[in-house]
Amino acid sequence: MKKAEILDLIAQIKGGKISDEKVVEYFANYPFSDIGCAKVDMQRELRSGVGEVIYGEGKRPEAILAIARECVKNGNNVLITRTNSQVAEILQKDFPLAKFNEVGRTISIIINEPKLTESYIGIISAGTSDSYAVEEAYETAKFLGNDVRKITDVGVAGINRLFLKLDEIQKAKVLIVIAGMEGALPSVIAGLVKAPVIAVPTSVGYGASFGGVAALLGMLNSCANGISVVNIDNGYGAAYNASIINHL
């Protein structure tokens, strides 16, 4: 239930416009809705401001569809991460407006269009190989109601590309900086801006990158101020935290 629904229910109870049985029905699924394959948290938006997001990897398409149906039935937008085209095809039969981002592996179903922030989140990536994390972060940030600007392929191997976008970068309220290899780009950015930088190491690089561990350690050991680091390839987590900052 959303806050507005609870206030409306209280008003109906006070006014004698609703029966005791109906009140019991309202709370029958509190605090979650058990649909067999999952227990869908129906109170999360009330607690944290954002409804449940579906992590798609490892879930059967039928289970994802059932969870999405339950969320939409309760008036919630739906975001599915780490998913695929098979799931998208199944969901689009029920939800024709479901948007599949093939690169970011996300599906978004928007029932209530969010109002975008006046300030914006900047998403900066080192190379084209980091696009999957960029798109996951972008779709998440947009889903959460943020204005978002993407600045891609501006890594340290051609640092001159970065400076052409410096004005736009410096005006962002918060920055998500994505890089693999040695993970140097967040340190460079953090030395040029006032905004907080959320660094995302990616599993991009040759053997000694150890699937993103080298970039992760490089970012954790950065001497630049204002950097926080999320897990390897975690564009979703970076965007969620950036959204909290951007909405302050």
**What is the tens place of the pLDDT at every residue in 112-166?**
888 999 999 999 999 999 999 999 999 999 999 999 999 999 999 999 999 999 9
Interval 91-112 mean pLDDT: 95
Instruction: State the CATH class of domain 120-246.
Output: alpha beta
Structure confidence at residue 30 (pLDDT):
66
Work out the mean pLDDT of the chain and round it to a whole number: 91
Q: Are 178 and 137 in contact (CB under 8 A)?
A: yes
For 28-109, CATH gives 3.30.110
177-216 burial code (b ≥16 CB/10 A, e <16):
bbbbbbbbbbbbbbeebebbbbbbbbbbbeeebebbebbb
Query: In the predicted model, is pLDDT for residue 47 greater than 80?
Result: no
- Are 67 and 40 in contact by the 8 Å Cβ rule? The answer is yes
The full set of domain ranges for the chain reads 28-109, 120-246
Span 202-229, pLDDT tens digits: 999 999 999 999 999 999 999 999 999 9
Q: What is the 3-state secondary structure (H, E, C) of the chain?
A: CCHHHHHHHHHHHHCCCCCHHHHHHHCCCCCEEECCCCEEECCHHHHHCCCCCEECCCCCHHHHHHHHHHHHHCCCCEEEECCCHHHHHHHHHHCCCCEEECCCCEEEECCCCCCCCCCEEEEEECCHHHHHHHHHHHHHHHHCCCEEEEECCCCHHHCHHHHCCHHHHHCCCEEEEEECCCCCHHHHHHCCCCCCEEEEECCCCCHHHHHHHHHHHHHHCCCCCCEEECCCCCHHHHHHHHHHHHCC
Q: Which residue has the higher pLDDT, 69 or 74?
A: 69
Q: Tokens 């569809």 — which residue?
A: 65
Give the phi and the psi of residue 176 in degrees, each rounded to 5.
Answer: -105, 120
- Whether omega before 31 lies within 30 degrees of 0, making that bond cis, reads yes
pLDDT of residue 18: 82
d(C-alpha 159, C-alpha 185), whole Å: 9
The larger pLDDT score, comparing residue 127 to residue 37, is at 127
Confidence of residue 29 (pLDDT cuts 50, 70, 90): low
